[in-house]
């Protein structure tokens, strides 16, 4: 494995880990998994809900792809690829912003 491949995998895994930690933290605090239905009502916590959904979305998309794999493999691969790309971009953002990793 070359260095650039390792860095790309590190970025994707960082994004997936951030999504998992955010989803678990939200479920621990509120008692429910973050879903799009959090935005059905407006409250003071709506900005926190949006932030939790944006950070948790890559993992939810990957999970949706895995769930659909038996029914529609093409759609499942598309969902998984979208989730992996989103987690990669999120991981790059985290690594460059928080850890100053370039």
pLDDT, tens only, 81-100:
999 999 999 999 999 998 88
Return the HEC string of 86-102: HHHHHHHHHHHHCCCCC
Instruction: Rounding to the nearest 10 degrees, give the CA dihedral for residues 42, 15, 31, 36.
Output: 40
From the centroid of its chain, how far is CA 78?
15
Cα-to-chain-centroid distance, residue 102: 21
CA distance 46 to 8: 32
- Span 18-53, pLDDT tens digits: 999 999 999 999 998 888 887 888 889 889 989 999
């Amino acid at each position: 494995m070359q260095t650039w491949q390792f860095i790309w995998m590190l970025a994707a895994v960082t994004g997936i880990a951030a999504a998992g930690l955010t989803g678990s933290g939200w479920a621990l605090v509120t008692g429910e998994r973050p879903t799009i239905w959090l935005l059905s009502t407006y409250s003071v916590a709506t900005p926190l809900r949006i932030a939790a959904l944006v950070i948790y979305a890559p993992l939810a998309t990957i999970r949706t792809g895995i769930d659909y794999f038996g029914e529609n493999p093409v759609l499942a691969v598309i969902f998984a690829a979208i989730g992996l790309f989103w987690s990669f971009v999120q991981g790059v953002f985290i690594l460059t912003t928080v850890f100053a990793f370039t």
